[in-house]
Structure 1
Amino acid sequence: MTDNEDIEISTLAERPDLAGRIYELNDTWPEFIARDLIGYALLARVPEEFPQYCVVATAGDRVVARGFSVPFNASLEGREEMPDRGWDQVLAWAFDDLRRGRPVTTASALEITIDADHLGRGLSSRMLAAMREAVGRQGLGALVAPVRPTAKHLRPRLPMAAYLSEVRDDGLPTDPWLRVHVKAGGTIEKAAPASMTVSGTLAEWRRWTGLPFDQDGETEVPGALVPAHCDTRHDRVSYVEPNVWVRHPLRP
């Protein structure tokens, strides 16, 4: 294994040669996550349009982690830094602002993905630090993040508010990924109750998960933070994922 000291982290603006290799990772994302329609339409364009906000880690000639963030204008009427629709909303706002040439006021993280062989070795905290630094270099005062708590899928029926109230004896969150953010200087602000939405037919969800989806009502799905809702009469399964807004103030 390669030690973290041998890993180099750069922005894609600094290493455009890596743009075509950032999906070489052996990641652990559930398949249904990639079926979020806004993400399906826009996420792949983020490295091309916002390379200065994206970070990539390499170990020798191998890509071992990637991190995406996007800038957007949170000061327009009807907007805020941390909307209830979380991940979907900030991604849509970022591309709307890009198209219209608007000034940006803040940036939102979208993902930090670590190769499975490098999990549990502190690389996620280094990637978060690199993303904070990259955003700060653009002159923005804050990085916000609709965080997907990594252990929440183990307790899908627990309300997110209750999950957020659970802390260790040292006062840090029990959730490992939230704990990384807090240790890095982030503040947990609130839940984003409808951060991502994935809707599909019974057949699609069966293909994505291997589950039967043959009964109406809530269905627990491996990797999902809350149960999905199955409606056999209308051939529809809907999943609305809550995330957690964390705010990282940055030095001017």
Structure 2
Amino acid sequence: MEIVTLAQRPDLVEAVYAIPYPPGSPRFMQGSLTSLLVRGRRVARRWPHLVVALLEGGSPVARGVMVPFRERSPFPARGWDEVAVWAAEDALDGVAPDTAGALEIAVHPSCQGRGLSSAVLAGMRDAVAAAGLSSLVIPVRPPDKASVPLVSMGDYAAATRPDGLPVDRWLRTHVRAGGLIAGVASCSATVQAPLADWREWTGLPFDRDGPVVVPGALAPVLVSTVDDYAVYVEANVWVSHRVPEHPARLG
């Protein structure tokens, strides 16, 4: 196994972004307007030193994507969306960043279950240190929360096993890798769209007002048939990872 950044290996951009998102990732998340600011290859062009690839036999099997920003307030309620907007604002305004925010970690489906996420997280921490940034924060989306969409994210994130580790497997991976659960981003990611889009994304009728449980959603989608739109507001869990004091130069 080898960890590289796209600054080191720009020839790997296509292969790195060919790694699919985890199976079962909901289609409706493509409706996030904020995500357009940090679309994959856009980040790779602007901040290649913060896109990490895990190689096996010379081929990418996992990636970690981060963006830099100047922290305005710690662990904002608007989580993922806030990180993306801050990074875009600071890039446009020429503001020097001090923090990295992780947007995603993806492991190739054929390689899942091997603990590769922990190796990617270690590579991300080293890349953050090499960039001269002081902290790495992650608005974590625990996909298993979709099985209990009516449970609050605060209660879900606080649930632990007898050994003290989180019940959620993805939060458990972060804690085992040295991450500290710092709180809940109550409105971390928002998708708003006409009902026709929601019907296409989900195959559901969206023919009644009020909350609708959608497969893959961590919380109900709120529907207004009168106004012909639905809004999804997703909470995430803030996790902070320690950055090495002495930068590990990745080249």
Asked if Structure 1 and Structure 2 have the same fold, meaning a TM-score greater than 0.5 normalized by the shorter chain, the answer is yes
CA RMSD of aligned residues (A): 1.4
Residue 224 of structure 2 is aligned to residue 227 of structure 1:
no
Residue 210 of structure 2 is aligned to residue 217 of structure 1:
yes
* Percent identity for Structure 1 against Structure 2: 47
Shift of residue 62, structure 1, vs aligned partner: 4.0
5+ residue gaps, structure 1 = 1-6
Secondary structure of 2:44's partner?
Answer: helix
Q: How does 1:156-235 map to 2 (within 5 A)?
A: 156-235=149-228
Measured in 2, the distance between the counterparts of 1:185 and 1:117 equals 26
Secondary structure of 1:144's partner?
Answer: strand
Equivalent residue number for residue 73 of structure 1? 70
What do residues 162-211 of structure 1 show as CA deviations (whole Å, max 9, x unaligned)?
Answer: 11220011101011111111111111011001111001111101111111
Q: TM (normalized to structure 2)?
A: 0.92
Equivalent residue number for residue 248 of structure 2? none
State which of 46, 54, 65 in structure 1 corresponds to 2:43.
46
Amino acid at match of 1:67: G
Measured in 2, the distance between the counterparts of 1:35 and 1:114 equals 23
Equivalent residue number for residue 130 of structure 2? 137
What do residues 77-124 of structure 1 show as CA deviations (whole Å, max 9, x unaligned)?
Answer: xx2131111111111111211122111111111100111111111111
Measured in 2, the distance between the counterparts of 1:211 and 1:55 equals 37
Equivalent residue number for residue 28 of structure 2? 32
Q: How does 1:5-154 map to 2 (within 5 A)?
A: 7-27=1-21, 28=23, 29-44=25-40, 45-60=42-57, 62-74=59-71, 79-154=72-147
Say if 1:24 and 1:63, in contact at 8 Å, map to a contact too. Answer: no
Measured in 2, the distance between the counterparts of 1:26 and 1:89 equals 24
Amino acid at match of 1:37: L
What do residues 17-37 of structure 1 show as CA deviations (whole Å, max 9, x unaligned)?
Answer: 011232312322211112210
- Which range moved further: 172-181 or 7-16? 7-16
User: Quick one: structure 1 residues 151 and 217, their matched pair in 2 at CA, closer, same or farther if it must change by over 3 Å?
Assistant: same
Say if 1:156 and 1:224, in contact at 8 Å, map to a contact too. Answer: yes
Measured in 2, the distance between the counterparts of 1:207 and 1:41 equals 23
Secondary structure of 2:218's partner?
Answer: coil
User: Quick one: structure 1 residues 61 and 30, their matched pair in 2 at CA, closer, same or farther if it must change by over 3 Å?
Assistant: farther
What do residues 122-169 of structure 1 show as CA deviations (whole Å, max 9, x unaligned)?
Answer: 111111111111111112221000000131111100001111220011
- Which range moved further: 129-138 or 21-30? 21-30
Equivalent residue number for residue 249 of structure 2? none
What do residues 38-80 of structure 1 show as CA deviations (whole Å, max 9, x unaligned)?
Answer: 1023323111111111111233364322211111101xxxx21
Measured in 2, the distance between the counterparts of 1:213 and 1:172 equals 38
Q: TM (normalized to structure 1)?
A: 0.92
Measured in 2, the distance between the counterparts of 1:81 and 1:52 equals 23
5+ residue gaps, structure 2 = 246-251
Measured in 2, the distance between the counterparts of 1:61 and 1:165 equals 39
Measured in 1, the distance between the counterparts of 2:217 and 2:2 equals 32
Secondary structure of 1:170's partner?
Answer: coil
